[in-house]
Amino acid sequence: MSQANNKLKTLPIGISNWSQLRKRDMFFVDKTDKLRSLVVAKNKIFLSRPRRMGKSMLCSMLEDLFNNGTINFEGTAIYDQWPEQPGAFPVIRLTFVDIAGDTKREFEQSLIGALVDAYGNAGFHEVEEYENKYKTLDRFLKALKPISRDNELVFIIDEWDHPLSSNLGEKAKYNIALSALKCFYSWLRSIDSFRFILVTGIMRYSSASLFTGQDIRDISMDPDYASLVGYTHEELVTCYAPYIKEAARVLGLSEAELIAELQAYYDGFCFDEKAEVKLYSPWDINQFFDRVTPGAESDYHPEFKAFWMNSSNAAQALKEFLSHRPTDLEALCQLKYEGTDLTTDDLATPVNFDEVTASQLLAESGYLTIKSIVSGAQSNNKTYHCGLPNLEVLEEFDLVLMRFIGAKSKKSINEVSALKAAIKTALLQGDIKAVCARINELLSGILSDTFRFPHEPLYRTLIAGWFRDIADEVREETPNYQGRSDIELKIGDKFYVFELKLIHNITENDRKRSLKDRYGLLKAATKQIIAKGYAVNHHTAGKPVIGVALVISNMRRCIAAWHKFDATGSSCGRIHTVNLFTKYLEESGLAGNSR
């Protein structure tokens, strides 16, 4: 452990309790500068963010401020700005993450139990007697009404929609949760003597009564609160400067290189109606740097992993949606690379169970994020271009799609595993001919329904997905100073860059044109890799690169031609042709002219 490592504070991994964080003197980024303006009026506030973006810590900070004042906030922006006296307004703190039940009675009892605990923690211990006395949620809430009416309460409700969003694939369970939530939020809206209400979550459901009457202020896309949770790039490079320095040392990178990698993998979440503020998930950043903090094992190095995706439940929500709803797979593949346009109404208007679209689910759960304003910049219903925010989300999105596609394969799990193992061996040996043959075998196992309207993004998703299971690292659409490569992968001591081209609208009888197109597209793909300097990035500097051009036949749904060429190893990416072998070109006598 280095001397610098010993000076770093412990990061709050899994800690969402503000007072506990301060008592243990853990690291934090001060996010309190907007809290006064948030509570200065008698407001009902709704904030939508994906999970693991910092909503629970926000809830804990507000609970601590209302209960204890600024005793735990010394050195923060809110310390001299908080407007209320400690304990003046009892806090009812709820989280719906653990409230569940397979029947109406079970769900209501789970919610009643949570309310008993919340009111008891706020000092209303008489509520403990209500649990046995009032067996239904409606009667229980009526019993709570006098307490809630006679006291100016603060309600802080985290993950309000979790029982609904986690059951988008099961309408019966969704309706059970909806019935109870509708009852609860109708009751909450009827309380006029509150001091402040904050509700956080992911989705907006119109039939749950929370948004009925529009008397709740939705700040989810408000530019003033765009960075209320999550870290900006400036916060990353300034607040985490000593962690960046230590991680760069451990990984053998410059600080600029490490920051560029962090930005590529984890930056890019945007919830701002002006499309200006980009954010990192705190969970990603803390998990990454935790490996250089005190107590970390000496050989436990930082790694670029899907920390946020693996803990946010976003992948599970998408899997459930895909498995139970008719979905255009090719549209999802197209969306992955090109994004989609969504309006303010698409992003913020409450919906019912049957109205939830794949794009809305992707946007609310964090798969899609605002990239730019397409039109209506001065209107109330802007049109935004939305896309995947970063490499972490791209890789996990691919995994979900590949599992979905795998369920439609004619080949067994063992057959697919054997073919992927053969591809790995061939890549390690540099045998592209064998790689293509095995990929074609995998393609032949995909049911024809998947290829109703085949296009390049679908093939790119499939090939990159299979590579991702066997390679050390796979990147898609990797940018450099002139363009974006289709697929880059590192395996063993080899680094590959792939460019895909697709032959459209050919027939069985159009063999002459087919051959011409294959050869022409191979040359075009090769020229594109060379001319645009694909794989010329800091992560490939000084490393030999193998370029591969692939031409895919839509008619045959397979790789029809391939071209492998070696890089000179220079950072400028200058590459010369080594060989060209395809069945079709050899048969046509064109192979001898390939250099």
Q: Please report which confidence band the pLDDT of residue 1 belongs to, taking 50, 70 and 90 as the band edges.
A: very low
pLDDT at 258: 94
pLDDT at 416: 86
Structural domain contains residue 169: yes
Structural domain contains residue 402: no
- 266 compared with 542, residue with greater pLDDT: 266
In this structure, the answer to whether residues 565 and 422 fall within a common structural domain is: yes
CA angle 98, 101, 103 (to 5 degrees): 165
SS3 of residue 560 by DSSP = strand
> Does 112 have pLDDT greater than 80?
yes
Distance, CA of 491 to chain centre: 25
In this structure, the answer to whether residues 243 and 329 fall within a common structural domain is: no
Structure tokens at 371: 């990239």
Residue where a domain terminates, one of 158, 192, 225: 225
pLDDT at 379: 79
pLDDT at 583: 37
Residue where a domain terminates, one of 276, 305, 334: 305
In this structure, the answer to whether residues 181 and 65 fall within a common structural domain is: yes
DSSP characters over 239-260: HTHHHHHHHHHHHT--HHHHHH
- 583 compared with 314, residue with greater pLDDT: 314
> Does 359 have pLDDT greater than 90?
no
pLDDT at 408: 60
Show the domain range for 111.
31-225
> Does 3 have pLDDT greater than 70?
no
Structural domain contains residue 22: no
| Residues 366-421 pLDDT 10s | 888 999 999 887 877 889 999 989 988 888 887 777 777 766 667 778 888 899 99
Residue 556 CA to residue 374 CA, distance in Å, equals: 38
Q: Are 72 and 64 in contact (CB under 8 A)?
A: yes
Find the range with the poorest average confidence among 138-152, 345-359, 430-444, 495-509.
495-509
Distance, CA of 328 to chain centre: 20
In this structure, the answer to whether residues 301 and 323 fall within a common structural domain is: no
In this structure, the answer to whether residues 334 and 185 fall within a common structural domain is: no
In this structure, the answer to whether residues 297 and 315 fall within a common structural domain is: no
For residue 276, give Cα distances in angstroms to 271, 367, 371. 9, 18, 9
> Does 145 have pLDDT greater than 50?
yes
Structural domain contains residue 19: no
In this structure, the answer to whether residues 369 and 249 fall within a common structural domain is: no
Structural domain contains residue 566: yes
Structural domain contains residue 540: yes
Average pLDDT over residues 185-210: 86
Average pLDDT over residues 309-329: 66
In this structure, the answer to whether residues 368 and 250 fall within a common structural domain is: no
pLDDT at 537: 59
Q: Please report which confidence band the pLDDT of residue 505 belongs to, taking 50, 70 and 90 as the band edges.
A: low
In this structure, the answer to whether residues 427 and 457 fall within a common structural domain is: yes
The percent of residues in the chain predicted with pLDDT above 70, rounded, is: 83
- Tell me the average pLDDT of the chain: 82
Q: Please report which confidence band the pLDDT of residue 117 belongs to, taking 50, 70 and 90 as the band edges.
A: very high
> Does 506 have pLDDT greater than 80?
no
* Sequence-ordered list of residues with C-beta below 8 angstroms from that of 327, at least 6 positions apart, any chain: 321, 358
CA angle 280, 286, 290 (to 5 degrees): 150
Residue 143 CA to residue 381 CA, distance in Å, equals: 42
pLDDT at 285: 95
> Does 155 have pLDDT greater than 90?
yes
Find the range with the poorest average confidence among 155-164, 171-180, 209-218.
209-218
Find the range with the poorest average confidence among 259-268, 280-289, 295-304, 385-394.
295-304
> Does 120 have pLDDT greater than 50?
yes
pLDDT at 247: 93
In this structure, the answer to whether residues 444 and 500 fall within a common structural domain is: yes
> Does 269 have pLDDT greater than 90?
yes
From the list 157, 205, 204, the residue with the least C-alpha distance to 56 is: 157
Structural domain contains residue 21: no
Q: Please report which confidence band the pLDDT of residue 586 belongs to, taking 50, 70 and 90 as the band edges.
A: very low
Residue where a domain terminates, one of 191, 225, 259: 225
DSSP element (H, E) containing 33: none
pLDDT at 313: 62
From the list 525, 481, 477, 482, the residue with the least C-alpha distance to 503 is: 525
> Does 477 have pLDDT greater than 80?
no
Average pLDDT over residues 302-318: 74
SS3 of residue 157 by DSSP = strand
The percent of residues in the chain predicted with pLDDT above 90, rounded, is: 38
pLDDT at 585: 37
The single-letter code of the amino acid at 404 is: F
Find the range with the poorest average confidence among 65-79, 86-100, 259-273, 473-487.
473-487
DSSP characters over 278-323: -BB-HHHHHHHHGGGSTT--TT-------HHHHHHSHHHHHHHHHH
| Residues 221-258 pLDDT 10s | 999 999 999 999 999 999 999 999 999 999 999 999 99
In this structure, the answer to whether residues 536 and 559 fall within a common structural domain is: yes
Structural domain contains residue 448: yes
Q: How many CB atoms lie within 10 A of CB 407?
A: 10
- 582 compared with 395, residue with greater pLDDT: 395
* Sequence-ordered list of residues with C-beta below 8 angstroms from that of 227, at least 6 positions apart, any chain: 31, 235, 277, 279
DSSP element (H, E) containing 142: helix 137-150
In this structure, the answer to whether residues 477 and 518 fall within a common structural domain is: yes
Number of domains within the chain: 4
- 334 compared with 550, residue with greater pLDDT: 550
